[in-house]
């Protein structure tokens, strides 16, 4: 399969540039399956910004940041080595800045280095989410930048630059030909809706034309922190559980309607923004298709399955998903879905041979 051969070739090239690939191979970026938004890349460990709704502290991350211990080349290698990840222009979506703020002074250069290495060595569509004014260099990497906000004042993000600064920075990026999307996440009841028109006006004037509204996920600790900011989420949730992030079902329709009235394209998820910013297609989940459905070369899929030891898989594409007659190992199923951007389902009871 073309995507499989490309992955092997990129890994070989990167291995030749690195003295030792052991550290990258042992890193969790080389193992973790992609999430729906793609493979998330950590630029640092911890975050000092202490946003009221942040879940990373519940996950055990510290309130200070240390740059992630892989160099840009090592991170590119780790991503390429991940058996679930498809490498290349139409490969796995890469989402930089999960569980920290990538453009903190301590990690800014590293984050830009990671993005540059992905663009140069992998070619995958890259997206970065930030609460900082995005560095102008991002325009040259064709990265989609999610300007993350919760409300127009930044009420729940007292240590981050103000939303107006983030959005003005995005405007500069758009002027340089970069791509920016307004990422209203999380939507916090009683906070996000206040001043929404002002927020949308700022984004529109900055040249932003896409918006994503994202759900708040709460734990008892997050609810308590929000309470200390004067925000009560109890009317929106039946019960909170220790150790579980519960989505807060706030009706987002009204926010989406307001955005549409301005002329924004309202997208179902951050990954859709990455796909559309790169002029691509994806139909991997039921929220799509986003941009359309990629053509599937069934012979190419058959070639991959045979190479991986499956016999009698008999792949079939019905225009929306690929069906195979064998049970696939999890990493092969995920790799195929990442390479094809459509769901892959097993039908029939035949077992693989290897």
* Residues of the shown chain interacting with ligand SF4 in the complex, contacts defined by CB under 6 A: 36, 47, 49-51, 54, 56, 99-101, 131, 160, 268-269, 271-272, 275, 282-285, 287-290
* Phi, psi (rounded to 5 degrees) for 313: -70, -35
The nearest distance, CB 112 to ligand SF4, in angstroms, is: 17
Nearer to ligand SF4, 149 or 290 (CB): 290
The nearest distance, CB 125 to ligand SF4, in angstroms, is: 10
Nearer to ligand SF4, 160 or 174 (CB): 160
Nearer to ligand SF4, 171 or 288 (CB): 288
The nearest distance, CB 259 to ligand SF4, in angstroms, is: 17
Answer whether the bond into residue 271 is a cis peptide, omega within 30°.
no
Answer whether the bond into residue 179 is a cis peptide, omega within 30°.
no
Nearer to ligand SF4, 180 or 290 (CB): 290
The nearest distance, CB 12 to ligand SF4, in angstroms, is: 29
Nearer to ligand SF4, 25 or 321 (CB): 321
Residue nearest to ligand SF4 (CB): 288
Residue 276: count of CB within 10 angstroms of its CB: 20
The nearest distance, CB 51 to ligand SF4, in angstroms, is: 3
What 157-161 contacts at long range (C-beta under 8 Å, 24+ apart), as own/partner pairs, is 157/49, 157/51, 157/52, 157/131, 158/50, 159/48, 159/49, 159/50, 159/51, 160/49, 160/51, 160/101, 160/131, 160/132, 161/131, 161/132, 161/133
Q: Which DSSP state fits 187? A: E
């Amino acid at each position: 399969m073309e995507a499989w051969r490309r992955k092997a070739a990129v890994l070989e090239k990167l291995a030749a540039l690195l003295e030792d690939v052991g550290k990258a191979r042992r890193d969790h970026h080389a193992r973790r399956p992609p999430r729906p938004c793609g493979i998330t890349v950590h630029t640092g460990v911890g975050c000092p910004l202490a946003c009221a709704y942040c879940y990373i502290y519940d996950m055990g991350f510290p309130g200070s940041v240390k740059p992630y211990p892989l160099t840009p080349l090592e991170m590119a290698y780790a991503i390429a080595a991940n058996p679930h990840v498809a490498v290349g222009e139409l490969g796995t979506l890469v989402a930089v800045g999960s569980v920290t703020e990538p453009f903190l002074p301590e990690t800014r250069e590293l984050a830009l280095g990671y993005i540059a290495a992905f663009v140069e060595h992998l070619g995958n569509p890259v997206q970065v989410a930030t609460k900082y004014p995005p560095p102008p260099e991002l325009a040259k990497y064709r990265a989609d930048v999610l300007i993350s906000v919760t409300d127009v004042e930044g009420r729940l993000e007292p240590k981050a630059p103000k939303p107006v600064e983030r959005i003005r920075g995005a405007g500069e990026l758009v002027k340089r030909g970069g791509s920016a999307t307004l990422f209203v996440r999380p939507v916090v009841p009683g906070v996000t809706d206040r001043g929404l028109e002002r927020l949308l006006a700022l984004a529109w004037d900055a040249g932003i034309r896409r918006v994503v509204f994202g759900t708040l996920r709460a734990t008892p600790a997050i609810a308590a922190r929000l309470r200390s900011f004067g925000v009560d989420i109890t009317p929106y949730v039946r019960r909170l559980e220790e150790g579980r992030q519960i989505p807060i079902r706030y009706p987002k329709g009204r926010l989406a309607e307001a955005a549409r009235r301005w002329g924004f394209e309202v997208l179902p998820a951050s990954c859709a923004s990455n796909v559309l910013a790169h002029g691509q297609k994806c139909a991997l989940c039921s929220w799509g298709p986003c941009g359309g459905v990629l053509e599937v070369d069934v012979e190419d899929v058959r070639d991959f399955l045979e190479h991986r030891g499956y016999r009698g898989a008999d792949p079939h594409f019905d225009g929306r998903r690929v069906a195979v007659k064998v049970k696939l190992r999890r990493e092969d199923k995920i790799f195929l879905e990442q390479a094809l951007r459509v769901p892959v389902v097993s039908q029939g009871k035949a077992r693989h041979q290897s």
